[in-house]
């Protein structure tokens, strides 16, 4: 019997050590190094021996490489296509992470059922009957989706050779194990080895692979950090299980922008695409309420109208509180300092609470003017009219600075029925004959005068 070989791996970053030690010298984390059984043997191809072929790549001059755009596989989900950059790239490997119960499996099963091409959905967490019950609610008449319950990668590749799918979905990467590693499923070495085999399969066969990944209590994808470096695209599925809306973001994308955003609504029949996000980001209330302002922002190429709520009250405990939801608290402190120094508003002894509705996080500086308008509205207890919106950045000198792609923001505000939009007078506006009134301002005092007289 061969001697069992073991090694030590950091569970946080995946670094290998010859012996145990308390602190990982790579990521500086404590008590993350564990012993795992390893088996050193020659790695075989994902193909069976009769299918494998020896081929070597040769270097090409850069002007000899075919630079034409590769055809993408378009799923039936417009939000998913937008986040990926236009569709699924053949041979790509995508990793989808998110909280437990947020809807990762539902999203990918829904996409697999709607795709017009042959799809192999591999689940290591649910039985075929469980997946069938969920599929009956989502899309019961799919003929292109194959369901496989398997956790061994060699068996998955054998079935993939027989079916020859156009897309392979793995739910989830932490449940898989390979014969070439003796440690248990979900360990650092197993996750790294299984992902490496799937990447090799995707690149050699041209079949796109989509992986579901568990996340840790810190919000990071479970497994070695190298996992995110190995794949082509990393997607994050966000949201609160107590709310119906979900947000899909790209944290890494080799084939498109990482600034795009997809919004879904969780229903009993699956996830509904929200084509007009402003419907969930702007509250519907009959009365005019102070402390609210509408901002025109951009997420990637998509314009959004978001509602900003502010509450200014006298500090009870002596030290004023500064609390934000969906907004950078340091930027709020900066804007409050500008209001105090440049505009003369005494807010240093008052509590200020700020909330961006809809559960999204925005870092676009173009919402600065709307933040200030909401704060002043709450401080003066004077509501801002519902048909007014804002799109401008605030400088430290109290000036209203121009923002990028202001024409797109103006057109979105006009489409949603707003009557007036406040923008910087230094913006170059090329919209011809806008139906919305443009208020061109250069200082905070101009905005205060226009809104509150």
**What does the pLDDT look like over 187-226, one tens digit per residue?**
888 888 899 999 999 999 999 999 999 888 777 888 778 8
pTM: 0.75
Neighbours of 99 (CB within 10 A): 16
Do 165 and 227 sit in the same domain of this protein?
Answer: yes
Residue 364 predicted with pLDDT over 60 = yes
Tell me the CATH number at 165.
3.40.50.300
Annotated binding site for ATP: 98-105
Range of the domain at 33: 1-40
Residue 52 predicted with pLDDT over 70 = no
Span 66-71, average pLDDT:
72
Averaged pLDDT of the chain: 86
Do 293 and 245 sit in the same domain of this protein?
Answer: no
From 203, 238, 273, give the residue that closes a domain.
Answer: 273
Number of domains making up the chain? 3
Task: State the pLDDT at residue 56.
Answer: 59
Task: State the pLDDT at residue 384.
Answer: 93
Q: For 52-56, 214-218, 296-300, 399-403, which range has the lowest pLDDT when averaged over its residues?
A: 52-56
Task: State the pLDDT at residue 120.
Answer: 95
Does some domain include residue 304?
Answer: yes
Do 212 and 83 sit in the same domain of this protein?
Answer: yes
Do 383 and 342 sit in the same domain of this protein?
Answer: yes
Three-class secondary structure of residue 370 per DSSP? helix
Annotated binding site: 98-105
Task: State the pLDDT at residue 60.
Answer: 85
The region, left, alpha or beta by phi > 0 then psi within -120 to 50, assigned to residue 138 is: alpha
- At 48, the pLDDT band (50, 70, 90 cuts) reads low
- As beta bridge partners, residue 221 has 215
Do 150 and 207 sit in the same domain of this protein?
Answer: yes
pLDDT-above-70 percentage for the chain:
93
Does some domain include residue 106?
Answer: yes
Span 419-427, average pLDDT:
93
Q: For 265-279, 331-345, 416-430, which range has the lowest pLDDT when averaged over its residues?
A: 265-279
Residue 309 predicted with pLDDT over 90 = yes
- d(C-alpha 116, C-alpha 208), whole Å: 14
Do 297 and 403 sit in the same domain of this protein?
Answer: yes
- At 279, the pLDDT band (50, 70, 90 cuts) reads confident
Residue from 28, 12, 29, 10 nearest 20 by CA = 10
Does some domain include residue 126?
Answer: yes
């Amino acid at each position: 019997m061969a001697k069992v070989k073991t090694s030590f791996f950091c569970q946080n970053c995946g670094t290998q050590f010859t012996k145990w030690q308390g602190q990982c010298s790579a990521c500086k984390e404590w008590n993350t190094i564990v012993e795992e059984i390893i088996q050193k043997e020659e790695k075989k191809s994902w193909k069976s021996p009769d299918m494998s072929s020896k081929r070597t790549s040769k270097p090409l001059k850069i002007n000899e490489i075919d630079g034409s755009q590769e055809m993408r596989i378009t799923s039936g989900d417009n939000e998913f296509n937008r986040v990926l950059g236009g569709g699924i790239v053949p041979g790509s490997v995508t990793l989808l992470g998110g909280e437990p119960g947020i809807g990762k499996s539902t999203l990918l099963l829904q996409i697999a059922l709607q795709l017009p091409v042959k799809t192999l959905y591999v689940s290591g967490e649910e039985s075929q009957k469980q997946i069938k019950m969920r599929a009956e609610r989502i899309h019961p008449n799919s003929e292109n989706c194959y369901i496989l319950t398997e956790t061994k990668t060699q068996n998955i590749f054998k079935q993939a050779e027989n079916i020859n799918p156009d897309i392979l979905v793995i739910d989830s990467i932490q449940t898989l194990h390979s014969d070439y590693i003796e440690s248990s499923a979900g360990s650092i070495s197993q996750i790294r080895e299984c992902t490496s085999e799937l990447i090799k399969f995707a690149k050699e066969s041209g079949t796109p692979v989509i992986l579901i990944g568990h996340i840790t209590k810190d919000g990071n994808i479970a497994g070695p950090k190298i996992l995110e470096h190995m794949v082509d695209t990393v997607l994050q599925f966000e949201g609160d299980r107590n709310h119906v809306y979900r947000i899909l973001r790209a944290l890494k994308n080799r084939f498109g922008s990482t600034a795009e955003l997809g919004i879904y609504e969780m229903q009993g029949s699956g996830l509904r695409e929200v084509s007009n996000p402003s419907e969930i980001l702007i509250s519907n209330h009959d009365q005019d309420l102070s402390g609210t302002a509408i901002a025109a922002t951009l997420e990637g190429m998509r314009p959004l109208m978001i509602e900003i709520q502010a509450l200014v009250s006298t500090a009870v405990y002596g030290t004023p509180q500064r609390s934000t939801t969906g907004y950078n608290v340091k930027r709020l402190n900066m804007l409050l300092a500008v209001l105090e120094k440049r505009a003369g508003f005494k807010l240093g002894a008052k509590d200020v609470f700020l909330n961006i509705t809809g559960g999204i996080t925005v870092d676009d500086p173009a919402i600065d003017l709307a933040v200030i308008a909401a704060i002043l509205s709450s401080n003066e207890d004077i509501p801002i009219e519902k048909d007014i919106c804002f799109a401008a950045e605030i400088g430290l000198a109290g000036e209203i600075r121009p923002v990028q792609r202001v024409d797109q923001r103006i057109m979105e505000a006009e489409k949603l029925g707003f009557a007036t939009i406040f923008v910087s007078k230094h913006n170059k506006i090329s919209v011809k004959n806008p139906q919305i009134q443009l208020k061109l301002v250069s200082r905070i005092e101009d905005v205060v005068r226009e809104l509150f007289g």
